[in-house]
């Protein structure tokens, strides 16, 4: 503050350190004080003194006379300071008056004001200028010195306060304490700004300064208890009104409205705190909603993935596989992003709560980040099992379809062969046959037994296939078993009937004549050859399933070996057909009339010829089928190599990016914004790489559609790539969020970039494993290097244990960089506290221990006021009116010290 002392007839300006300034200033002009200024000062200072003296039940009439005995001067100082001065002298002699004035001057000096060369004699003698100077010194010390706005004080602070309060008003431009106040609008604006109900500013006119001034004087005196200290005519008619008089009068307005200023400051603090709480509550609600939706989706998805009910048909199982692909490519990726965003929102919310000195957010039961992570882990476990089950089932159904078709084919061939055999064996034609016919029947029966034995292998194959179908849980196993049982029963019956017929024929064997050996030889050779041709046709038409070029080449080798046996088979055919030619030749030679039917077999030479032609026709068809399968397997091999070529690039690329992101998160590389830009670039590059993942997914789908389930050319499966890709997206998002939280921490706590760089450098130095975290011993060494007293003593151990509970609340055994930054910012920055909020509410409540609804709505914006009203509990003290609210417990609850 600035005040002035009159010394030896010359005025001096003194600054806050009480050093004399040059005398060539405005106080030099007081030596020849302008009469108008002196008049204004006398009136203003007299009114100012009386505004305080009336509290003691007295006043002054003449400022230079009424202070001469020092009594009222001492009384004035006691009123404005609130302190007691030494007891005044009662006498009326001059030395008594001088003693009292000296007591007053000594008290002024005790308040840090040095009165140089001003003595009590001048005051006792009624020196007007000396008296006015002394009163001005008192005004400066007790009315203006403590005025402070934005670190400015005294005159500059009061001027800045006036400028701010009158800035919105038209025709008002406060630049000083003289000319700027002549038209009265500045005074009216000050009143209207704080009490708009007292003055209608819109009706004031700049060309009516006397009316404006008188309006301000009258309203201030009537409603604000500020006495009239100036005359409108004196101010208007003076080229430059007295600065000290104006300052004295304006300071009264500052003190009159100081309570409102204090209330406004308190209201602003409360609004800020409530805004933080409202924003945090919104983030909590968003977290709860997103967590509920994600957990509900997981809850509904897991039963679907756990359902292992197999379908009976390949098409249905392939549709399940396609549905699973859609789930992995379409439905799950957005949920992966939601899970990542949920973790980011949780971390951001906790950071904001920590920065605003609020308690940590505890989600509803079952909705912690760890709960979601566990649910997600369970989802991925059943997901993996589901895909493995699908592929196993498809392979099983493929095998089942193949076996079922093979079973049907063999059964059809066997039943075609056995058709009518039971009726034939049951015939008793031998009872009325001739000897030749009986012997023919005997030979025919022997040929049938040979044929029957040849078919034993086929029956065993049918039974083996049926057993395998049962073991593989074929859906139509009952019909397979029924058909197989029928064939076995029929086969047993055929054996019984065959034995019975042989027994019957042997009983009459004496009646038989020698049977035509050629017919018999033909029958005996034709039957095995016919059976061989049946087997050959069956093998040539046999379906096959292979999964590699090696397997198909094995089938081709077997087929080539079969073709190598055809010349020998042709010789057998020619020999058999030669027997028939010999029969015809003998019959022609001896004039025997043949019946055209071989009595020993149903096979005719034409049957042998037709089947042989069929075998020769099926051989090239089998060649073509095998070559087509070779082409398919070669195409599958190309798909394997194509997938492997991409997977062997994408897999290492993902690993490299994970390592690069890890380095970015711990290395010092410019400001946090530069790190953020670098990470954003990484994120964009990763997003741009997504097309390669999609292409690999397409190749993977082609492989599965081609029933390719293994790939020896790569160690990377599509599942490995998917998991790595999801981890990469999650890691870059988390890293960006960590930097965002560091920026949020820096800005909220006022931490400079240099401090953050120092923190990071210290962390990196003691991060000896370069994995982005410190173990407790390294963390202790880091703190000691930064000046913490953690030497080996009980107090040091206790302090270090306290710090560890802050940076490692989950007892993981490590300190992350984010936890380290949070701790250091808490150590170096200040935050608002519950006590500060209580103090602000106390101001709004006019020092009461409760606050009313009307006070909240008057002092706070509507939204914040209603927020407080809805959450504050009723005041239970006896001194409060009905409906009073408890702001103390509310303030504590804001910082987690009780429940809202």
Q: Are 104 and 73 in contact (CB under 8 A)?
A: yes
The whole-number pLDDT of residue 297 equals 92
Instruction: For residue 98, give every residue at least 6 positions away whose Cβ sits within 8 Å of its Cβ, in sequence order, or none.
Output: 70, 120, 121, 124
CA distances (Å), 718 to each of 65, 339, 387, 456, 657, in order?
Answer: 104, 21, 12, 49, 18
Average pLDDT, the chain: 82
Predicted local distance difference test score (pLDDT) of residue 874 = 92
* Average confidence (pLDDT) over 460-477: 85
206 or 35: whose pLDDT is higher?
206
Residues 6+ apart with CB under 8 A from 897: 834
Report how far apart, in Å, the C-alpha atoms of 694 and of each of 698, 701, 718 are. Answer: 6, 10, 11
Task: Indicate the SS3 state at residue 526.
Answer: helix
For the chain, give the number of residues.
Answer: 900
Higher per-residue confidence, 334 vs 274: 334
Contact 777, 817 (CB under 8 A): no
Dihedrals phi, psi of 25, to nearest 5 degrees:
-125, -170
Q: Could you tell me the domains of the chain?
A: 35-270 (1.10.418.10), 276-412 (1.20.58.60), 435-630 (1.20.58.60), 638-732 (1.20.58.60), 755-805 (no CATH)
User: Which of 612, 618, 627 shows the shortest CA–CA distance to 571?
Assistant: 612
Query: Does the predicted TM-score (pTM) go above 0.85?
Result: no
Q: Cα separation of 809 and 822, whole Å?
A: 13
Best-predicted range by mean pLDDT among 100-114, 199-213, 397-411, 653-667?
199-213
pLDDT tens-digit readout, 707-763: 777 888 899 888 888 899 999 889 889 888 888 887 887 777 667 777 777 777 788
Query: Which residues are within 8 A (CB) of 608 and not within 5 positions of it... i.e. 6 or more apart?
Result: 526, 529, 530, 533, 573, 576, 577
pLDDT above 70 coverage of the chain, percent: 89
Tell me: the pLDDT tens digits for 797-807? 888 888 888 88
Report pLDDT for 711: 84
Tens digit of pLDDT for each residue in 521-572? Answer: 888 888 898 999 899 888 888 887 777 788 888 888 988 898 899 999 899 8
Q: How far apart are CA 429 and CA 132, in angstroms?
A: 162
With a cut of 70, say whether residue 9 has pLDDT above it: no
Cα(70)–Cα(123) distance, rounded to whole angstroms?
A: 8
Instruction: Tell me the average pLDDT across 769-784.
Output: 83
Q: Which of 4-13, 511-520, 596-605, 873-882 has the weakest average pLDDT?
A: 4-13
Q: Could you tell me how far CA 854 lies from the centroid of its own chain? A: 42
| Bridge partners (DSSP) listed for residue 5 | 12
Residues with Cβ within 8 Å of residue 115, at least 6 apart in sequence: 5, 105, 108, 109, 134, 137
Query: What's the gap between Cα 770 and its chain centre?
Result: 26
pLDDT-derived band at 5 (thresholds 50, 70, 90) equals very low
Residue 226 region by backbone torsions, left for phi larger than 0, else alpha for psi between -120 and 50, else beta: beta
User: Exposed, middle or buried by CB within 10 Å (0-12, 13-18, 19+), for 874?
Assistant: exposed
Instruction: Name every residue whose Cβ is closer than 8 Å to that of residue 866 and which is 6 or more positions away in sequence.
Output: none
In the predicted model, what is the mean pLDDT of residues 398-414?
84
Reported confidence tier of residue 251, pLDDT bands at 50, 70, 90: confident
pLDDT value at 8 more than 70:
no
Helix (H, G, I), strand (E, B) or coil at 632: helix
Helix%, strand%, coil% for the chain, nearest 5: 70, 5, 25
425 in Cβ contact with 490 (< 8 Å): no
Return the half-sphere exposure (C-beta side, CA atoms, 13 A cut-off) of residue 346: 22
> Going by C-beta distance under 8 Å and a sequence separation of 6 or more, which residues neighbour residue 302?
378, 379, 382
Q: What are phi and psi for residue 308, nearest 5 degrees?
A: -110, 30
Angle in degrees, CA 819, 821, 826, rounded to 5: 95
How many whole angstroms separate alpha carbon 649 and alpha carbon 654? 9
The stretches of 11-93 forming alpha helices (DSSP H) are 35-53, 63-66, 71-81
Rg (CA), the chain: 55
């Amino acid at each position: 503050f600035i005040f002035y002392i009159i010394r030896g007839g010359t005025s001096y300006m003194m600054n806050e350190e009480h050093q004399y300034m040059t005398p060539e200033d405005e106080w030099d002009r007081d030596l020849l004080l302008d009469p108008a200024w002196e008049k204004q000062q006398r009136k203003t200072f007299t009114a100012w003194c009386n505004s305080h003296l009336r509290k003691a039940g007295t006043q002054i009439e003449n400022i230079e006379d009424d202070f001469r005995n020092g009594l009222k001067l001492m009384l004035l100082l006691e009123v404005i300071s609130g302190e007691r001065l030494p007891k005044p002298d009662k006498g009326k002699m001059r030395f008594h008056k001088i003693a009292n004035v000296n007591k007053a001057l000594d008290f002024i000096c005790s308040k840090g004001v040095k009165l140089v060369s001003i003595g009590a004699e001048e005051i006792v003698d009624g020196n007007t200028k000396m008296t006015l100077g002394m009163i001005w010194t008192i005004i400066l010390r007790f009315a203006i010195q403590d005025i402070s706005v934005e670190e400015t004080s005294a005159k500059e602070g009061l001027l800045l306060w006036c400028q701010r309060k009158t800035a919105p008003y038209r025709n008002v431009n406060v630049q000083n304490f003289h000319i700027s106040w002549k038209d009265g609008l500045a005074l009216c604006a000050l009143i209207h700004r704080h009490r708009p109900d007292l003055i209608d500013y819109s009706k004031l006119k700049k060309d009516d300064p006397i009316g404006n001034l008188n309006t301000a004087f009258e309203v201030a005196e009537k409603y604000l208890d500020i006495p009239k200290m100036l005359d409108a005519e004196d101010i208007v008619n003076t080229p430059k009104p007295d600065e000290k008089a104006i300052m004295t009068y304006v300071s009264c307005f500052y003190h009159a409205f100081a309570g409102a200023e204090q209330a406004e400051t308190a209201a602003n603090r409360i609004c800020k705190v409530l805004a933080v709480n409202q924003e945090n509550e919104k983030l909590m609600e968003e977290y709860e909603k997103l967590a509920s939706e994600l957990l509900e989706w997981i809850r509904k998805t897991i039963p679907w993935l756990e359902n292992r009910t197999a379908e009976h048909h390949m098409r249905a199982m392939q549709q399940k596989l396609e549905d699973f692909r859609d789930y992995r490519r379409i439905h799950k990726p957005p949920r992966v992003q939601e899970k990542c965003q949920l973790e980011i929102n949780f971390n951001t919310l906790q950071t904001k709560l920590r920065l605003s000195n609020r308690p940590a957010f505890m989600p509803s039961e079952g909705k912690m980040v760890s709960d979601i992570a566990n649910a997600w882990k369970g989802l991925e476990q059943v997901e993996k099992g589901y895909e493995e089950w699908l592929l196993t089932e498809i392979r099983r159904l493929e095998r089942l379809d193949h076996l079922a078709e093979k079973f049907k084919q063999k059964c059809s061939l066997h039943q075609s062969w056995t058709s009518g055999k039971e009726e034939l064996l049951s015939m008793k034609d031998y009872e009325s046959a001739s000897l030749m016919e009986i012997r023919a029947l005997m030979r025919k029966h022997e040929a049938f037994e040979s044929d029957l034995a040849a078919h034993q292998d086929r029956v065993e194959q049918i039974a083996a296939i049926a057993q395998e179908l049962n073991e593989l849980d074929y859906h139509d196993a009952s019909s397979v078993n029924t058909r197989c049982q029928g064939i076995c029963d029929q086969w047993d019956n055929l054996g019984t009937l065959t034995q019975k017929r042989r027994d019957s024929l042997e009983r009459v064997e004496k009646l038989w004549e020698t049977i035509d050996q050629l017919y018999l030889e033909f029958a005996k050779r034709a039957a095995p050859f016919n059976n061989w041709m049946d087997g050959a046709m069956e093998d040539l038409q046999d379906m096959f399933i292979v999964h590699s070029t090696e397997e198909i080449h094995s089938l081709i080798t077997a087929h080539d070996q079969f073709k190598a046996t055809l010349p020998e088979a042709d010789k057998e055919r020619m020999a058999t057909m030669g027997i028939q030619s010999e029969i015809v030749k003998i019959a022609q030679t001896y004039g025997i009339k043949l019946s055209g039917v071989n009595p020993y077999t149903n096979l005719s030479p034409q049957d042998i010829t037709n089947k042989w032609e069929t075998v020769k026709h099926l051989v090239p068809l089998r060649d073509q089928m095998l070559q087509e399968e070779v082409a398919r397997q070669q195409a599958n091999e190309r798909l394997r190599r194509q997938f492997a070529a991409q997977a062997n690039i994408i897999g290492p690329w993902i690993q490299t990016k994970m390592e690069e992101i890890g380095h970015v998160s711990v290395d010092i590389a410019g400001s946090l914004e530069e790190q953020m830009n670098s990470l954003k670039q990484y994120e964009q590059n990763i997003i741009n790489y997504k097309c390669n993942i999609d292409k690999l997914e397409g190749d993977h789908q082609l492989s599965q559609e081609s029933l390719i389930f293994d790939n020896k050319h790569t160690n990377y499966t599509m599942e490995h790539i998917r998991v790595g890709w999801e981890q990469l997206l999650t890691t870059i998002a988390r890293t960006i969020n960590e930097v965002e939280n560091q920026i949020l921490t820096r800005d909220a706590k006022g931490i400079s970039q240099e401090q953050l760089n120092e923190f990071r450098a210290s962390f990196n130095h003691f991060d000896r494993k370069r994995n982005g975290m410190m173990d407790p011993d390294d963390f202790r060494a880091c703190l000691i290097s930064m000046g913490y007293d953690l030497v080996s003593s009980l107090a040091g151990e206790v302090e270090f244990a306290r710090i560890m509970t802050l940076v490692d609340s989950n007892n993981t055994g490590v300190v992350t960089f984010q936890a380290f930054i949070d701790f250091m910012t808490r150590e170096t920055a200040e935050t608002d506290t519950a006590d500060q909020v209580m103090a602000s509410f106390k101001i709004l409540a006019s020092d009461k221990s409760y606050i009313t609804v009307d006070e909240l709505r008057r002092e706070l914006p509507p939204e914040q006021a209603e927020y407080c009203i809805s959450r504050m509990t009723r005041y239970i003290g006896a001194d409060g009116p009905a409906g009073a609210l408890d702001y103390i417990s509310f303030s504590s609850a804001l910082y987690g010290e009780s429940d809202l």
